[in-house]
Amino acid sequence: MEKPRSVVPAPIRAVLFDAYGTLFDVYSVGLLAEQLFPGRGPALSVLWRDKQIEYTHLVTTSNGGAHYQPFWDLTRAALRYACKRLALDLSVESEQQLMNQYRHLSAFPENKEVLQSLKARGIVTGILSNGDPAMLTVAIKSAGLDGLLDHVISVDALHKYKTHPDAYALGLQATGFEARQIAFVSCNSWDALAATWFGYQTLWVNRYQLPFEELGTSPVFTGSNLRDVLSLPGLGLLP
């Protein structure tokens, strides 16, 4: 795990995880997409995800949030757009299959081990996600993570998606801790960047060996998988 030399870690009291892309593999839906659209599955899964995130930013920043839609609805809209963009004939049945698969995305294999270890150390655990509550409930149960998360925080009640600072503030409200006492973990570089700006001790999990965003700020820590959470310096410090 990489960390800036200048970092003086504060004691970490809680670890909050992004859900989609971090705990749950958003590209695992590409396997079904490939079966439905041979030769186009990977392209569909990537464009679907990109458009989904673009829509969250669009409805958050336009007209004071007047165009907000739940994450599930944006996910469906993004799928329809991606299929049109790729000239794929998306039938009602295929749409239902792909959306159902999105409810049950594959979980990364180290998830349970990491969460169990954090709980054993007395660290508060949680999810802070764009996903709406129903989506998160199904995903958590499907991944076998029941009982390992103290907080499941959705932006849905707020009607503002990440990267809005009010979305990140939900983590403070739920845990009662200051931002510097919370490690925020995300595989999404845009998410890790905004959470760093907000003040969290961020861990960017760079699973795919990608460059970080070029906006003059680096994540506090960088790792390659979720096990790097367990090596965060602040976890070993007394509060």
Write the class of the CATH domain 26-103.
Answer: mainly alpha
Q: Does 5 have pLDDT greater than 50?
A: no
What is the pTM for the complete model shown?
A: 0.92
Which pLDDT score is estimated for 66?
87
Q: Are 140 and 125 in contact (CB under 8 A)?
A: no
Question: 14-17 and 182-186 as β-strands: parallel, antiparallel, unpaired?
Answer: parallel
- With 0-12 CB in 10 A as exposed, 13-18 as middle and 19+ as buried, what is 114? buried
Q: Does 9 have pLDDT greater than 90?
A: no
Handedness of CA 146, 123, 8, 162 (dihedral sign): positive
**Which part of the chain has CATH 3.40.50.1000?**
14-24+107-236
pLDDT category of residue 235 using cuts at 50, 70 and 90: confident
The whole-angstrom separation of Cα 161 and Cα 65 is: 10
Which pLDDT score is estimated for 7?
52
Which tens digit of pLDDT belongs to each residue from 88-147?
999 999 999 999 999 998 899 999 999 999 999 999 999 999 999 999 999 999 888 989
Which tens digit of pLDDT belongs to each residue from 167-224?
999 999 999 999 999 999 999 999 999 999 999 999 999 998 999 999 999 999 999 9
More confident residue, 1 or 16: 16
Residue positions annotated with a catalytic role: 18
Q: Does 14 have pLDDT greater than 70?
A: yes
Q: Does 164 have pLDDT greater than 60?
A: yes
Chain Cα centroid distance, residue 217: 19
Fold of 14-24+107-236: Rossmann fold (3.40.50)
Which tens digit of pLDDT belongs to each residue from 40-69?
999 999 999 999 999 999 999 988 888 999
The whole-angstrom separation of Cα 61 and Cα 44 is: 26
Which pLDDT score is estimated for 106?
87
CA-angle at 187, arms to 234 and 17, nearest 5°: 55
